[in-house]
Structure 1
Amino acid sequence: MSTLRFEILGPLRFWRGGTELDAGPRQQRCLLTLLLAASEQPLGISELIDLIWESAPPSSAVNIVHKYVSGLRRVFEPDLTARDCGRYLFRYGNGYRLVAGTAAVDLRAFHRHLADARAGEGAGVPDRALDHYTDALRLVRGPAGGALADSLRAAAVFTAFDSQFFDATVAATEIAVRIGRPAEVLSAVRLAATMSPLHEPVHASLVTALAATGRQAEALDAYRTIRQRLGDELGIDPGPALLEAERRVLTRSVAPAMAAAPRPPSPHPAQLPPDLPLFAGRSAELATLDGLSAPSGPLVVALDGMAGVGKSTLAVRFAHRVSARFPDGRLHLDLRGDRDEPVTAGEALRSLLYALGVPAAKVPDTVDARLGMYRSLTADKKILVLLDNAREAGQVRPLLPNSTTSTTLITSRCPLPGLAAFDGAHLMHVDLPDQPAARELLNRRLAGLPNRPAAGTADEMIELCGRLPLALAIVGARLAAHRHLSPQVLAAELRDDGRRLSALAVGAGDQDPRTAFSWSYRQLSAGSARLFRFLSTTSPTGVRVLACAGLAGQDVAETRRQLAELVEAALVTEHGDGRFTLHGLIRAYAGELFRTIDAEPPTARTVLDRRWSVLAGFQHGGPARLGSVVGQDSVH
């Protein structure tokens, strides 16, 4: 549905991708505009005939409508076969229905913004209401439908949309003048006054907006013009709205001091972290991201994966590849969702406003006001936002820019399905690199080193690091920093489960696997943390839910909840066959915690006793059931 985009709030225009198309002869264009105006509601054949021809339709009107429909389908989808209705224009009873999607038709976006604006007014948030009003007004380019209406009924359909534009202009001007932002509505109110030369509330709004932006002389000229026009064409004097607007200008009740100060400058921030010079692999992931980045609307991509897998490195590499598409700015913010105290939405908005040139003294106090300012400053901008280490969708949603030409990249340890469901985000899981890519990554780190390991030793190191990019980078860094360090000695350290994480430790302040895993572990509930430690005693090939319940000595339902929490924290991997596994380095970390916090690993007898207690809750089963469970899961 996103391949087509329509505009009817002005002359009819529509595009397939980036190519503007011709909708055909006049009456065919009229039919298309009427179907779009119906907002995906079906229109019957007789209704369409009445709208197009009104009182004098030709005898072949039904066939003409069918012909126009076929013509539009071929314009929408040139490869369509003769009898195929395609993806957009459907037969519905004795009529037709056009389905184009909310974001693809300016009229539907206009109505959505109006609804949000009125909601902002009702909630007492004028800044937010004005942001939505200006978004709606910006969509209008002239009289709805252009000049395609040849019947009174069709004209009435389009006139209704023009009236909504006029009402929205008046409401937006009142708010804009009251909160000191009149310049933002001036172009829209000028257009409305041009479209409706005798609409008194619109012209009163024009007079008021001109005065509020410091144009007193122009405001009085506008008043005199509409007063003379009313007298010449209608023989009436100005009504209360115009008289009040004139009085406010003459008494300077609307003075330039009440108008908006110049909006904060909008610099072109370039905050992306440096691209990694030793970047390797990820060609498939970059190709996928390239495929998503076609300019068909705002792009939101949320990359998830375990700690150290290279989500941020991949996001930064892609951001630099496409940065030239975003001349209005490239923003970056670490949301610290992997830490004990993540950045709040309010603080994140403050940082982004600073980056967009807003002085500290001008940043609003409330989160809603900051959100309104952020959306205003990013409206219609070609801007890229990279949000690292998000914890949840609610932390990210207020930070999405208000622009159809924007791209937002998000990294998180857990998937963010809420962003996909409600914000149209693409979810992309970043997995461990395969063996060739991991070898390329390590080889780039080892290039030119005198103590470079032999191929067999390097492959063993890769496997002992579980192909985790963070660990491989540290292996390369250790060999580079300590030229006397033998690769065989380092490999021996990695083979020792008790020393493996210490072999991958770095200096204070830098992230290593143990530190990265600890941030995820500290966010777990007590029960899930305990189960995580116990999982270090299970088979590397995986363990199932019943075995986990027996190991922890608790019921299956609670165990499922805890496993779900561990999977969401990217500490445990769930497989399609019901197994749960730990990455080798995460298993080593869990083992360190187990040896520090818990008793000795449970014996087989202890596990069997615990499994009996778990299975006691089953109404059926007994020894046969227990045998099947023990047979499925090895006991450690």
Structure 2
Amino acid sequence: MTRLRVELMGSLRLWRDDAELDGGPRQQRCLLALLLARAGQPIGMTDLVGLIWGNEGPASAVNVVHKYVGALRRLLEPGLPLRAPGSFLARHGTGYRFLAVPGMLDLLEFRRLVAEARSSLAGGRPDQAVDRYAEAARLVRGPAGDGLADNATAATAFAGIDGEFFDAVVAAARLAVRTGRPAELLAPLRLATEMAPLSEPLHAGLVTTLAAAGHRAEALARYRQMRDRLVAELGVEPGPELTAAQRHVLTRDADPAVPASAAAPPRPVRPAQLPPDQPLFAGRETELSRLLELAAGTRDGRRTGPLVIAVDGMAGVGKSTLVTHFAHRVAADFTAGQLHLDLQGHLGEGSLSAGAALRALLHGLGARAPDVPDTFDALVGMYRSLTAGLDILILLDNAYDPPQVRPLLPNSAGSLVLITSRRALTGLAVSAGARLFHARLPELPEARELFRVRLAATGRRFGDQARLDEIIELCGRLPLALAILAARLGARPQLSPATVAADLRDGARRLDAFTERGGADPRGAFAWSYRQLSPGAARLFRLLSAAPGPGITAETWVRLAGQDPERTRAEVEELAEAALICVGPHGVIAWHVLVRAYAAELLALSP
């Protein structure tokens, strides 16, 4: 049996047994390094292209990625048949993910050892924790993916790995000092300070550890060097943590394992952050009943983690309204309160980062700004500590993907996390046992009730139910569209249902029926999803609007695309993942009538 080993925590290097492998051209190695950096997690094609080329990807970028993937598969598994997927680089939607076996990738080994160190410390075995930390630190040879980050986006991906090392080595150094073993962490601390020459926590840890190991002169010299660098490059004096480390060396009267900036515990608060419930909420009883059944799991004494319910669905279907209404129904069951956060997933890569989300949630739990730590690992640790054992309800709206959400899950089996997203968060079901719930379009009776309640609130009433039912169906029963039309009819007494129905029957003007200055409309909601598509998927989305009939067969969409069927299939999957279309049996595509109208508008502008 041959053994593959891959190193990422430093320069990218690969071995098969004892023979080192050539990773190929620079961009091919960059692709592999980025997939390794998110080992086990998928990266979509749009993100891959952006990570490799930034905003200047060539027109052939997708084909180049496919070529590199094929070459890497054969490098990792010689003799692999052409186009065979192999064991390590798995297709996921339009992108890929790297599947590492145990002991293969240094990054995963590092994380395993750090987790074991924390577990040992929690179990009262500090010396064993130092052993595991030291073993993890020895895996690090330098900046992750050293030399392969050609743009800011890629650099950020690798910087996150370096941040994990920095957090671990600072924690390990404090523990090593307390257990009388400081010398064992000096080498990784020196490496970390070389990698982050302006990091005060790292240099404070090195100064303290040097002093504890008997190197007092070097400790003071390191402090002076760091102070001079801060003044020369940033124009600032050292902060309280580094100053406290120097004071300890000079006076030896401070606990070196507790930085001067250590904060008092946040004051206990009971947050009540849920958005206001929709006063005109109507229908949805079947979905609410199902959500109540799922939420009953928070009272299951066998649970060891939070109950997570992830609700997905197309733009405008009413996910946020449904989940907010449900949250208000069950809020009283959660004595520790409710947190709410809009993750802005509709912005794609511009969505709220997990770190920024953690800071917002910590503030909601009562943490003061000066008390919130800087590093991501410390943010996660503080959040889990503050939520441990709490019966708390957390509503996370507009999630982008599972990696954005995972760090935000509380450390409590009695908590409930409600998530909305346009995409089905299947990765969260795998890693956190999330219950996936698809928000569907209401049936005609429920859509009729929604429309009637909205109209009644405006003071308007119509006796022609057949005409109103026609409007409802021309809107595809989309709750957002119905709410907009009801408000528009109420605001314009002269506007008749017959005029509205005529506008909706006209395919070229259908979406104009919902346009109001400064208001939300279906066109804007669909545009958020459209802007996240790869160029190929966006082109196919436009072309599909030209297909005749309500259902579009696989043969039709392949013919419309005019390209390789496999590539077209991947683009169809991307459209389905973005909740712009549905793919039924035998590859037949169905989509909402208003989404199709939006695609037709785009096709007229850009064939």
| TM tier, smaller | 0.5 to 0.7
Say yes or no: does 1:349 pair with 2:351. Answer: no
Say yes or no: does 1:493 pair with 2:503. Answer: yes
- Residue 267 of structure 1 is aligned with which of 269, 277, 288? 269
Residue deviations 1:358-400 (CA, integer Å, cap 9, x gap): 2222222111111111111111111111111111111111111
Contact 1:393–1:419 under 8 Å retained in 2: yes
Paired with 2:485 and 2:360, the residues of 1 have a C-alpha distance of 35
Change in 2 beyond 3 A, CA 1:254/1:521? closer
Measure how far apart 1:289 and its partner are: 1.1
Name the structure 2 match of 1:590: 599
Measure how far apart 1:506 and its partner are: 2.8
The residue matched to 2:555 in structure 1 has which SS? helix
Structure of larger gyration radius: 1
Measure how far apart 1:578 and its partner are: 2.5
Contact 1:470–1:512 under 8 Å retained in 2: yes
Paired with 1:403 and 1:327, the residues of 2 have a C-alpha distance of 13
Measure how far apart 1:269 and its partner are: 1.2
Change in 2 beyond 3 A, CA 1:505/1:257? closer
Change in 2 beyond 3 A, CA 1:257/1:583? closer
Say yes or no: does 1:414 pair with 2:416. Answer: no
Change in 2 beyond 3 A, CA 1:171/1:580? closer
Amino acid at match of 2:283: G
Name the structure 2 match of 1:400: 409
Say yes or no: does 1:580 pair with 2:589. Answer: yes
Say yes or no: does 1:383 pair with 2:392. Answer: yes
**Sequence identity of aligned pairs in percent?**
51
Amino acid at match of 2:578: A
Measure how far apart 1:576 and its partner are: 2.3
Residue deviations 1:280-325 (CA, integer Å, cap 9, x gap): 1111111111111221232101111100001111110111111011
The residue matched to 2:393 in structure 1 has which SS? strand
Name the structure 2 match of 1:325: 333
Residue deviations 1:451-478 (CA, integer Å, cap 9, x gap): 5362011100110000000001111111
Measure how far apart 1:133 and its partner are: 6.2
What is the 5 A alignment of 1:97-246?
123=114, 178=174
Contact 2:397–2:419 under 8 Å retained in 1: yes
Say yes or no: does 1:464 pair with 2:474. Answer: yes
Measure how far apart 1:327 and its partner are: 2.0
The residue matched to 1:470 in structure 2 has which SS? helix
- Residue 505 of structure 1 is aligned with which of 508, 515, 539? 515
Name the structure 2 match of 1:287: 289
Say yes or no: does 1:367 pair with 2:376. Answer: yes
Residue deviations 1:70-110 (CA, integer Å, cap 9, x gap): xxxxxxxxxxxxxxxxxxxxxxxxxxxxxxxxxxxxxxxxx
- Residue 572 of structure 2 is aligned with which of 560, 563, 578? 563
Contact 2:553–2:586 under 8 Å retained in 1: no
Contact 1:451–1:484 under 8 Å retained in 2: no
The residue matched to 1:445 in structure 2 has which SS? helix
Paired with 1:590 and 1:120, the residues of 2 have a C-alpha distance of 45
Paired with 1:323 and 1:414, the residues of 2 have a C-alpha distance of 25
Name the structure 2 match of 1:149: none
Change in 2 beyond 3 A, CA 1:445/1:122? same
Name the structure 1 match of 2:494: 484
What is the 5 A alignment of 1:517-536?
517-536=526-545
Say yes or no: does 1:454 pair with 2:468. Answer: no
Change in 2 beyond 3 A, CA 1:484/1:451? farther
The residue matched to 2:580 in structure 1 has which SS? coil
Change in 2 beyond 3 A, CA 1:261/1:339? closer
Q: CA RMSD in A?
A: 3.3
Residue deviations 1:204-234 (CA, integer Å, cap 9, x gap): xxxxxxxxxxxxxxxxxxxxxxxxxxxxxxx
Say yes or no: does 1:300 pair with 2:308. Answer: yes
TM-score (norm 2): 0.58
Change in 2 beyond 3 A, CA 1:360/1:456? same
Measure how far apart 1:331 and its partner are: 0.8
TM-score (norm 1): 0.56
Paired with 2:561 and 2:128, the residues of 1 have a C-alpha distance of 65
Amino acid at match of 1:513: P
- Residue 556 of structure 2 is aligned with which of 547, 554, 558? 547
The residue matched to 1:339 in structure 2 has which SS? helix
Measure how far apart 1:487 and its partner are: 1.4
Contact 2:263–2:371 under 8 Å retained in 1: no
Paired with 1:585 and 1:384, the residues of 2 have a C-alpha distance of 35
Name the structure 2 match of 1:156: none
Paired with 1:483 and 1:261, the residues of 2 have a C-alpha distance of 60
Paired with 2:512 and 2:120, the residues of 1 have a C-alpha distance of 58
The residue matched to 2:346 in structure 1 has which SS? coil
| Aligned residue pairs, count | 384
Contact 1:536–1:588 under 8 Å retained in 2: yes
Change in 2 beyond 3 A, CA 1:495/1:121? closer
Amino acid at match of 2:522: P
The residue matched to 1:293 in structure 2 has which SS? helix
Higher relative contact order at CA 8 Å, sep ≥6: structure 1 or structure 2?
Answer: 2
Change in 2 beyond 3 A, CA 1:120/1:267? farther
Paired with 1:540 and 1:305, the residues of 2 have a C-alpha distance of 24
Say yes or no: does 1:426 pair with 2:428. Answer: no
Paired with 1:259 and 1:533, the residues of 2 have a C-alpha distance of 56
Amino acid at match of 2:269: P
Residue deviations 1:128-155 (CA, integer Å, cap 9, x gap): 966x568x55xxxxxxxxxxxxxxxxxx
Name the structure 2 match of 1:439: 448
What is the 5 A alignment of 1:18-57?
none
Measure how far apart 1:500 and its partner are: 1.2
Unaligned runs of 5+ in 1: 1-117, 138-162, 183-250, 599-636
Measure how far apart 1:592 and its partner are: 0.5
The residue matched to 1:338 in structure 2 has which SS? helix
The residue matched to 1:447 in structure 2 has which SS? helix
Measure how far apart 1:350 and its partner are: 1.4
